[in-house]
Amino acid sequence: MKTAHNGKLSNPGEPDELKRRLLELESLRQQSQASQKRFDRFSSLLRLIGETQHLLFHETDQGRIIRDFCRLLVEKGYYSHAWIVLLDNMGAPTRSTQAGFNEPVAALLETMQKGIWPHCLQNAHDRYAVLTILDPAFICGPCSLSAVCQRQGQLIVNIGYSHSNFGMLVTALPRTLLAHEEEKSCLRLLADSLGAAFFRLDSEPKAENSLEKYRQMIEAGSDWIWETDIEGRYTYVSPQTQALLGYAPYEMVGRAAYEFMDPGEAKRVGAIFRELTPKKTPFRLLQATQLHRDGSKRVFEISGTPIFNEQGEKIGSRGTARDITEHQQVESALHDTCAGPRRPPATIHDGHLLRSKAATRYDS
């Protein structure tokens, strides 16, 4: 029903409708602001992940990694508190570090080393999912972590990689953020990156030791091992070259194999290697004659496999060379005695036998 007011007709329900619409607009504005804050927070977490990758890639000391990792999480405002505890292979705490705590939490590590773990860490241990604690003081009871994280929520995650558990990461942040799935996803990713760095640090010495043992074993034998770059220049040769060719390894590194051959042999072998260079398959039983320092000729049977970089591009080759000079001399004497025909030197590549002179292929 319309009524007259100052000579104009008005609807008594218009003020209520306008108020409702204003409330809706205010609600949409608040939702938009909340969404923008959530987006900004997510963007900042992505930046944090990038910053930690730089640290984890360049740092090699585990103690400095966890110290700087915690500082990075807190000092740039991503979290109010961060605490990392490392575990040994038996799951016992070994060391810890923190950032953002006004009170020391060193006593917590000592308590855990005695077998007394906070309730929150007990629940988070041996689980992959991020543990969310809305009110640590209420849920966990009195402990160092809950005491310093009052009016804050906690996210706790294991630091693991490839079935290895290296420790635990505890962060404190406003409770309003705990319901956001991206918070847990980003923290899980941070912990996985940290675990991968620890796994790499543990694996590298083992890999280096295994490679050193392999090289010692090879270098104790009669074959010599070699590595070349994509241009065919030696980047590594084993010490046997001193006895077999009269050259120390440092005299050969940086030089190509054909530099230790007479011109005719260098041309023959060079043609074979130019054919092999663009291919990404191993080769074996390539016969090549190299010159000893004293001018004598030594015949080697060479096998190799390509080396690739992380992008799958061929960057060189590595393999072995076996001295078959005496064997060739015996074979030559037998051929001369029997007056039989002799075949040119050959190499097997990609399942085929290559004859270097006639360039004839025979299926193996």
- Angle CA(100)–CA(86)–CA(158) in degrees, nearest 5? 85
pLDDT at 199 over 80: yes
Which DSSP string corresponds to 279-337?
Answer: --S-EEEEEEEEE-TTS-EEEEEEEEEEEE-TTS-EEEEEEEEEE-HHHHHHHHHHHHH
| Mean pLDDT over the full length of the chain | 80
**Fold: same for 42-205 and 221-363:** yes
| Mean pLDDT, residues 273-281 | 82
Give the tens place of pLDDT for each residue, 211-234. 566 666 666 666 888 999 988 899
Question: By percentage, how much of the chain surpasses pLDDT 70?
Answer: 78
DSSP label at residue 221: S
Whether 328 shows a pLDDT value over 90: the answer reads: no
pLDDT, position 138? 63
Phi, psi for 227 (deg, rounded to 5): -140, 145
pLDDT value for 361: 34
Which contacts qualify for 201-207: CB closer than 8 Å, 24 or more apart? 201/60, 201/62, 202/164
Residue 83 tokens read as 């605490």
- 14-58 helix and 62-75 helix, angle to the nearest 10 degrees: 160
CATH number of 42-205: 3.30.450.40
Pair 118, 140: CB distance under 8 Å: yes
Q: What is the pLDDT of residue 100?
A: 84
Mean pLDDT of 152-156: 87
Average the pLDDT over 19-27 and give the result: 82
Sequence spans of domains, the chain: 42-205, 221-363
Highest mean pLDDT, choosing among 72-81, 147-156, 255-264, 338-347: 255-264
Which range scores top for mean pLDDT: 17-26, 252-261, 279-288?
Answer: 252-261
Query: What percentage of the chain carries pLDDT values higher than 90?
Result: 19
The CATH code belonging to domain 221-363 is 3.30.450.20
